[in-house]
Structure 1
Amino acid sequence: MTTEATVTPEPTRAADEHEGGDKSSLITEDQRRALAETRDRIRAEFLYSRENRPRSTGRGIHHCALICADVRTTVDWYQNIAGFPVTVLFENRDLAGSTHFFFDVGAGNHLAFFDLPGVEPGPYQEVLGGLHHLCISVSEEHWHQIKDRLDERGADYMLESGTSIYCTDPDGARIEFIHDPLGRMYGHDTM
Protein backbone atom coordinates (compact mmCIF):
# COMPACT_ATOMS: atom_id res chain seq x y z
CA MET A 1 0.00 0.00 0.00
CA THR A 2 1.42 3.34 -1.03
CA THR A 3 0.16 6.54 0.51
CA GLU A 4 1.71 9.93 0.92
CA ALA A 5 2.81 11.11 4.31
CA THR A 6 1.37 14.36 5.57
CA VAL A 7 3.69 16.49 7.67
CA THR A 8 2.07 17.40 10.95
CA PRO A 9 3.23 20.64 12.60
CA GLU A 10 5.74 20.31 15.42
CA PRO A 11 3.92 20.07 18.79
CA THR A 12 4.14 22.99 21.15
CA ARG A 13 7.12 23.32 23.47
CA ALA A 14 5.19 22.13 26.54
CA ALA A 15 4.16 18.89 24.83
CA ASP A 16 7.46 18.11 23.12
CA GLU A 17 10.20 19.16 25.49
CA HIS A 18 11.16 18.15 28.97
CA GLU A 19 10.31 21.09 31.19
CA GLY A 20 12.97 21.65 33.80
CA GLY A 21 15.01 19.06 35.59
CA ASP A 22 18.48 17.76 34.83
CA LYS A 23 17.60 16.04 31.54
CA SER A 24 17.02 19.35 29.74
CA SER A 25 20.76 20.07 29.78
CA LEU A 26 22.20 16.70 28.71
CA ILE A 27 22.72 17.82 25.10
CA THR A 28 23.91 21.00 23.37
CA GLU A 29 21.58 23.26 21.42
CA ASP A 30 23.26 22.08 18.18
CA GLN A 31 22.54 18.47 19.11
CA ARG A 32 18.99 19.41 19.97
CA ARG A 33 18.49 21.10 16.58
CA ALA A 34 19.93 18.04 14.81
CA LEU A 35 17.54 15.78 16.72
CA ALA A 36 14.62 18.06 15.78
CA GLU A 37 15.63 17.80 12.12
CA THR A 38 15.79 14.01 12.41
CA ARG A 39 12.35 13.99 14.04
CA ASP A 40 11.02 16.13 11.16
CA ARG A 41 12.45 13.67 8.58
CA ILE A 42 10.92 10.69 10.42
CA ARG A 43 7.59 12.53 10.65
CA ALA A 44 7.66 13.30 6.90
CA GLU A 45 8.49 9.68 6.04
CA PHE A 46 6.23 7.74 8.40
CA LEU A 47 3.45 9.93 9.84
CA TYR A 48 0.30 9.83 7.72
CA SER A 49 -2.77 11.97 8.13
CA ARG A 50 -5.64 10.20 9.88
CA GLU A 51 -7.45 9.87 6.52
CA ASN A 52 -4.43 8.23 4.80
CA ARG A 53 -3.14 6.16 7.72
CA PRO A 54 -3.25 2.39 7.22
CA ARG A 55 -5.47 0.50 9.67
CA SER A 56 -3.66 -1.10 12.57
CA THR A 57 -3.44 -4.87 12.55
CA GLY A 58 -3.71 -4.86 16.35
CA ARG A 59 -6.89 -5.30 18.36
CA GLY A 60 -5.57 -3.72 21.57
CA ILE A 61 -3.10 -4.53 24.33
CA HIS A 62 -3.91 -8.04 25.56
CA HIS A 63 -1.63 -7.45 28.54
CA CYS A 64 1.63 -5.84 29.47
CA ALA A 65 3.60 -8.09 31.83
CA LEU A 66 5.88 -6.80 34.58
CA ILE A 67 7.91 -8.60 37.24
CA CYS A 68 7.19 -8.11 40.93
CA ALA A 69 9.00 -9.09 44.11
CA ASP A 70 5.89 -9.87 46.17
CA VAL A 71 2.47 -10.88 44.85
CA ARG A 72 0.46 -9.65 47.86
CA THR A 73 2.16 -6.22 47.94
CA THR A 74 1.59 -5.79 44.21
CA VAL A 75 -2.07 -6.85 44.39
CA ASP A 76 -2.64 -4.48 47.32
CA TRP A 77 -1.04 -1.52 45.49
CA TYR A 78 -2.72 -1.96 42.11
CA GLN A 79 -6.13 -2.91 43.49
CA ASN A 80 -6.33 -0.66 46.56
CA ILE A 81 -4.40 2.42 45.39
CA ALA A 82 -4.84 2.38 41.62
CA GLY A 83 -8.32 0.87 41.74
CA PHE A 84 -7.64 -1.90 39.20
CA PRO A 85 -9.32 -5.15 40.26
CA VAL A 86 -7.25 -8.31 40.12
CA THR A 87 -9.03 -10.70 37.74
CA VAL A 88 -7.10 -13.98 37.91
CA LEU A 89 -4.09 -15.60 39.61
CA PHE A 90 -2.51 -18.85 38.37
CA GLU A 91 0.87 -20.56 38.29
CA ASN A 92 3.21 -19.12 35.68
CA ARG A 93 4.05 -21.77 33.07
CA ASP A 94 7.71 -20.66 32.85
CA LEU A 95 8.77 -21.07 36.49
CA ALA A 96 7.49 -23.54 39.08
CA GLY A 97 5.78 -21.75 41.97
CA SER A 98 5.65 -18.40 40.16
CA THR A 99 2.29 -16.61 40.21
CA HIS A 100 0.98 -14.95 37.05
CA PHE A 101 -1.84 -12.48 37.75
CA PHE A 102 -3.83 -9.85 35.90
CA PHE A 103 -5.50 -6.50 36.64
CA ASP A 104 -8.35 -4.96 34.67
CA VAL A 105 -7.17 -1.49 33.56
CA GLY A 106 -10.28 -0.79 31.49
CA ALA A 107 -11.18 -0.79 27.80
CA GLY A 108 -10.58 -4.56 27.62
CA ASN A 109 -6.89 -4.15 28.56
CA HIS A 110 -4.97 -5.88 31.33
CA LEU A 111 -1.79 -5.32 33.25
CA ALA A 112 -0.13 -8.57 34.24
CA PHE A 113 2.60 -9.47 36.70
CA PHE A 114 4.55 -12.50 37.77
CA ASP A 115 6.98 -13.11 40.56
CA LEU A 116 10.21 -15.10 40.21
CA PRO A 117 10.63 -17.33 43.27
CA GLY A 118 14.30 -18.22 43.71
CA VAL A 119 15.46 -15.48 41.32
CA GLU A 120 16.80 -12.11 42.47
CA PRO A 121 15.81 -9.77 39.62
CA GLY A 122 17.43 -6.69 41.17
CA PRO A 123 16.05 -3.16 41.40
CA TYR A 124 14.23 -1.30 38.64
CA GLN A 125 16.58 0.29 36.10
CA GLU A 126 16.04 2.59 33.14
CA VAL A 127 17.66 0.61 30.32
CA LEU A 128 17.22 0.29 26.57
CA GLY A 129 14.36 -2.07 25.91
CA GLY A 130 13.14 -1.68 29.48
CA LEU A 131 10.09 0.06 30.85
CA HIS A 132 10.40 3.84 31.05
CA HIS A 133 6.91 4.30 32.43
CA LEU A 134 3.43 2.92 32.01
CA CYS A 135 0.68 5.51 31.50
CA ILE A 136 -2.89 4.50 32.32
CA SER A 137 -5.91 6.69 31.57
CA VAL A 138 -8.37 7.14 34.43
CA SER A 139 -11.33 9.46 34.94
CA GLU A 140 -10.65 12.76 36.67
CA GLU A 141 -12.68 11.54 39.65
CA HIS A 142 -10.55 8.40 39.96
CA TRP A 143 -7.37 10.46 39.42
CA HIS A 144 -8.22 12.49 42.55
CA GLN A 145 -9.03 9.29 44.46
CA ILE A 146 -5.65 7.79 43.49
CA LYS A 147 -3.91 10.99 44.61
CA ASP A 148 -5.77 10.86 47.93
CA ARG A 149 -4.81 7.20 48.48
CA LEU A 150 -1.15 7.97 47.68
CA ASP A 151 -1.33 10.83 50.22
CA GLU A 152 -2.90 8.52 52.84
CA ARG A 153 0.02 6.10 52.45
CA GLY A 154 2.63 8.87 52.42
CA ALA A 155 3.79 7.84 48.95
CA ASP A 156 5.99 10.07 46.84
CA TYR A 157 4.58 11.30 43.54
CA MET A 158 4.86 14.19 41.09
CA LEU A 159 1.98 16.12 39.50
CA GLU A 160 2.53 17.24 35.91
CA SER A 161 0.55 19.46 33.54
CA GLY A 162 -2.55 19.31 35.74
CA THR A 163 -3.54 15.89 34.39
CA SER A 164 -0.77 13.46 35.32
CA ILE A 165 0.39 11.81 38.52
CA TYR A 166 3.81 10.14 38.25
CA CYS A 167 4.69 7.65 40.97
CA THR A 168 6.42 4.31 41.41
CA ASP A 169 4.83 0.98 42.18
CA PRO A 170 6.18 -1.22 45.01
CA ASP A 171 9.02 -2.48 42.78
CA GLY A 172 10.06 0.92 41.44
CA ALA A 173 8.34 0.80 38.04
CA ARG A 174 7.27 4.28 36.99
CA ILE A 175 3.51 4.60 36.65
CA GLU A 176 1.63 7.60 35.26
CA PHE A 177 -2.07 8.07 35.94
CA ILE A 178 -3.50 10.55 33.44
CA HIS A 179 -7.03 11.89 33.35
CA ASP A 180 -6.82 12.88 29.71
CA PRO A 181 -9.08 10.48 27.80
CA LEU A 182 -7.66 7.72 25.63
CA GLY A 183 -6.47 9.29 22.37
CA ARG A 184 -5.58 12.68 23.93
CA MET A 185 -2.53 13.92 25.82
CA TYR A 186 -1.94 17.44 27.04
CA GLY A 187 -4.28 18.89 24.41
CA HIS A 188 -2.94 16.81 21.49
CA ASP A 189 -4.55 13.95 19.63
CA THR A 190 -2.53 10.73 19.90
CA MET A 191 -4.74 8.67 17.61
Structure 2
Amino acid sequence: MAPDGTALDYDRIEAERARIRATYLREQRPGSSARGVHHVALLCSDVERTVRFYQELLEFPLTEIFENRDYRGSNHFFFDIGHGNLLAFFDLPGLDLGPYAEVLGGLHHLAISVEPERWERLRGKLAEAGVACQVESGVSLYFRDPDGARIELLADPLGEMYGGKVL
Protein backbone atom coordinates (compact mmCIF):
# COMPACT_ATOMS: atom_id res chain seq x y z
CA MET A 1 0.00 0.00 0.00
CA ALA A 2 1.09 3.51 -0.76
CA PRO A 3 0.88 6.12 2.01
CA ASP A 4 -2.33 7.46 0.42
CA GLY A 5 -3.96 4.01 0.76
CA THR A 6 -3.84 3.06 -2.92
CA ALA A 7 -2.57 -0.36 -3.91
CA LEU A 8 0.90 -0.57 -5.39
CA ASP A 9 1.43 -2.59 -8.55
CA TYR A 10 4.46 -4.60 -7.44
CA ASP A 11 4.74 -6.44 -10.76
CA ARG A 12 4.98 -3.11 -12.61
CA ILE A 13 7.52 -1.81 -10.09
CA GLU A 14 9.68 -4.93 -10.48
CA ALA A 15 9.41 -4.74 -14.29
CA GLU A 16 10.55 -1.10 -14.20
CA ARG A 17 13.50 -2.00 -11.95
CA ALA A 18 14.47 -4.78 -14.38
CA ARG A 19 14.19 -2.38 -17.34
CA ILE A 20 16.42 0.21 -15.67
CA ARG A 21 18.93 -2.49 -14.67
CA ALA A 22 19.05 -3.87 -18.25
CA THR A 23 19.33 -0.39 -19.78
CA TYR A 24 21.88 1.26 -17.50
CA LEU A 25 23.79 -1.25 -15.37
CA ARG A 26 26.97 -2.11 -17.26
CA GLU A 27 29.04 -5.20 -16.66
CA GLN A 28 32.13 -3.35 -17.93
CA ARG A 29 31.66 -0.08 -16.09
CA PRO A 30 33.87 2.91 -16.98
CA GLY A 31 35.77 4.70 -14.24
CA SER A 32 33.93 7.49 -12.45
CA SER A 33 34.74 11.12 -13.15
CA ALA A 34 34.63 11.73 -9.37
CA ARG A 35 37.49 11.24 -6.92
CA GLY A 36 35.16 10.58 -3.97
CA VAL A 37 32.88 12.39 -1.55
CA HIS A 38 34.66 15.51 -0.34
CA HIS A 39 32.03 16.17 2.32
CA VAL A 40 28.36 15.81 3.07
CA ALA A 41 27.02 18.89 4.87
CA LEU A 42 24.28 18.80 7.48
CA LEU A 43 22.84 21.50 9.72
CA CYS A 44 23.14 21.60 13.48
CA SER A 45 21.60 23.75 16.17
CA ASP A 46 24.45 23.50 18.72
CA VAL A 47 28.08 23.26 17.61
CA GLU A 48 29.52 21.94 20.86
CA ARG A 49 26.78 19.32 21.30
CA THR A 50 27.40 18.17 17.72
CA VAL A 51 31.17 17.97 18.28
CA ARG A 52 30.68 15.95 21.47
CA PHE A 53 28.28 13.55 19.70
CA TYR A 54 30.36 12.92 16.59
CA GLN A 55 33.87 13.14 18.05
CA GLU A 56 33.44 11.72 21.54
CA LEU A 57 30.58 9.26 21.05
CA LEU A 58 31.08 8.14 17.43
CA GLU A 59 34.88 8.63 17.40
CA PHE A 60 34.95 10.76 14.22
CA PRO A 61 37.79 13.27 14.81
CA LEU A 62 37.06 16.96 14.33
CA THR A 63 39.45 18.16 11.60
CA GLU A 64 38.66 21.88 11.22
CA ILE A 65 36.27 24.66 12.14
CA PHE A 66 36.05 28.08 10.49
CA GLU A 67 33.51 30.73 9.60
CA ASN A 68 31.00 29.79 6.91
CA ARG A 69 31.82 31.93 3.86
CA ASP A 70 28.13 32.22 2.96
CA TYR A 71 26.75 33.33 6.35
CA ARG A 72 28.73 35.57 8.68
CA GLY A 73 28.85 34.27 12.26
CA SER A 74 28.04 30.72 11.17
CA ASN A 75 30.50 27.87 11.69
CA HIS A 76 31.51 25.31 9.07
CA PHE A 77 33.20 22.32 10.67
CA PHE A 78 34.35 18.89 9.58
CA PHE A 79 34.76 15.37 10.92
CA ASP A 80 36.95 12.62 9.45
CA ILE A 81 34.75 9.65 8.56
CA GLY A 82 37.60 7.67 7.04
CA HIS A 83 38.81 6.82 3.57
CA GLY A 84 39.47 10.50 2.79
CA ASN A 85 35.83 11.50 3.36
CA LEU A 86 34.43 14.23 5.59
CA LEU A 87 31.13 14.91 7.32
CA ALA A 88 30.53 18.66 7.63
CA PHE A 89 28.10 20.79 9.58
CA PHE A 90 26.84 24.34 9.54
CA ASP A 91 25.16 26.15 12.35
CA LEU A 92 23.13 29.12 11.16
CA PRO A 93 22.65 31.35 14.21
CA GLY A 94 19.75 33.74 14.01
CA LEU A 95 17.79 31.67 11.51
CA ASP A 96 14.78 29.75 12.75
CA LEU A 97 15.31 26.51 10.84
CA GLY A 98 12.98 24.42 12.95
CA PRO A 99 13.60 20.77 13.79
CA TYR A 100 15.05 18.25 11.35
CA ALA A 101 12.37 16.80 9.06
CA GLU A 102 12.73 13.66 6.99
CA VAL A 103 10.78 14.52 3.86
CA LEU A 104 10.49 13.21 0.32
CA GLY A 105 13.18 14.90 -1.69
CA GLY A 106 15.35 15.41 1.41
CA LEU A 107 18.02 13.42 3.19
CA HIS A 108 16.73 10.00 4.25
CA HIS A 109 19.85 8.82 6.08
CA LEU A 110 23.61 8.88 5.92
CA ALA A 111 25.30 5.44 5.95
CA ILE A 112 28.87 5.22 7.21
CA SER A 113 30.92 2.01 7.05
CA VAL A 114 32.81 0.97 10.18
CA GLU A 115 34.84 -2.12 11.05
CA PRO A 116 32.69 -4.85 12.69
CA GLU A 117 34.50 -4.67 16.06
CA ARG A 118 34.17 -0.88 16.10
CA TRP A 119 30.48 -1.26 15.15
CA GLU A 120 29.95 -3.36 18.28
CA ARG A 121 31.81 -0.86 20.47
CA LEU A 122 29.90 2.11 19.05
CA ARG A 123 26.61 0.24 19.49
CA GLY A 124 27.47 -0.16 23.18
CA LYS A 125 28.51 3.48 23.54
CA LEU A 126 25.26 4.67 21.93
CA ALA A 127 23.20 2.43 24.23
CA GLU A 128 25.15 3.64 27.27
CA ALA A 129 24.50 7.26 26.21
CA GLY A 130 20.77 6.54 25.93
CA VAL A 131 20.61 6.95 22.16
CA ALA A 132 17.73 4.90 20.73
CA CYS A 133 19.02 2.52 18.06
CA GLN A 134 17.52 0.06 15.62
CA VAL A 135 19.53 -2.90 14.31
CA GLU A 136 18.70 -4.29 10.88
CA SER A 137 20.18 -7.43 9.28
CA GLY A 138 22.76 -7.71 12.05
CA VAL A 139 25.08 -5.16 10.38
CA SER A 140 23.08 -1.92 10.15
CA LEU A 141 22.66 0.31 13.19
CA TYR A 142 20.24 3.22 12.75
CA PHE A 143 19.91 6.14 15.15
CA ARG A 144 19.37 9.88 15.15
CA ASP A 145 21.94 12.56 15.87
CA PRO A 146 21.17 15.36 18.36
CA ASP A 147 19.31 17.33 15.68
CA GLY A 148 17.34 14.35 14.41
CA ALA A 149 19.28 13.39 11.26
CA ARG A 150 19.15 9.63 10.74
CA ILE A 151 22.58 7.99 10.69
CA GLU A 152 23.40 4.39 9.82
CA LEU A 153 26.57 2.66 10.92
CA LEU A 154 27.11 -0.26 8.57
CA ALA A 155 29.50 -3.08 9.52
CA ASP A 156 29.77 -4.18 5.89
CA PRO A 157 32.94 -3.17 3.99
CA LEU A 158 32.85 -0.22 1.63
CA GLY A 159 31.35 -1.33 -1.67
CA GLU A 160 29.27 -4.12 -0.11
CA MET A 161 25.83 -4.27 1.43
CA TYR A 162 24.29 -7.24 3.22
CA GLY A 163 26.85 -9.60 1.71
CA GLY A 164 26.48 -8.41 -1.89
CA LYS A 165 28.66 -6.15 -3.99
CA VAL A 166 27.27 -2.69 -4.77
CA LEU A 167 30.52 -1.32 -6.18
| Shorter-chain TM-score tier | over 0.9
Is the partner of 1:107 in helix, strand or coil? Answer: coil
1:58 and 2:26 aligned: no
The total of aligned residue pairs comes to: 167
Instruction: Give the equivalent residue in structure 2 for 1:143.
Output: 119
Partner of residue 114 from structure 1, selected from 83, 90, 94:
90
Change (3 A) 1:186 1:178: same
Counterpart pick for 2:52 among 71, 76, 83: 76
C-alpha separation in 1, matches of 2:137 and 2:104: 26
* Gap regions ≥5 residues in structure 1: 1-21
Q: How far apart, CA to CA, are the structure 2 residues paired with 1:27 and 1:112?
A: 39
Which residue of structure 2 aligns with residue 180 of structure 1? Answer: 156
- The one of 9, 15, 36 equivalent to 2:14 is 36
Q: Given the alignment, which residue of 107, 115, 123 partners 2:99?
A: 123
| Structure 1: 4+ residue segments shifted above 3 A | none
The 2-side partners of 1:88 and 1:165 are apart by 27
1:100 corresponds, among 53, 71, 76, to: 76
Q: Which residue of 2 aligns with 1:14?
A: none
Residue type at the aligned position of 2:9? Q
Shift of 1:154: 1.1
Query: 1:45 and 2:23 equivalent?
Result: yes
The whole-number CA distance in structure 2 between the counterparts of 1:27 and 1:171 is 33
* Mapped partners of 2:141, 2:43: distance in 1: 22
Q: Could you say what the CA RMSD is over the residues aligned between the two structures, in angstroms?
A: 1.8
Distance 1:102 1:61 in 2: 13
**TM-score with structure 2 length normalisation?**
0.94
Which residue of 120, 130, 135 maps to 1:154? 130
Q: Percent identity?
A: 53
State the SS of the aligned residue for 2:17.
helix
SS of the residue aligned with 1:43? helix
Structure 2: which amino acid aligns with 1:86? L
Corresponding residue SS for 1:37: helix
Letter in 1 for 2:135: L
Give the gaps of 5 or more residues in structure 2. Answer: none
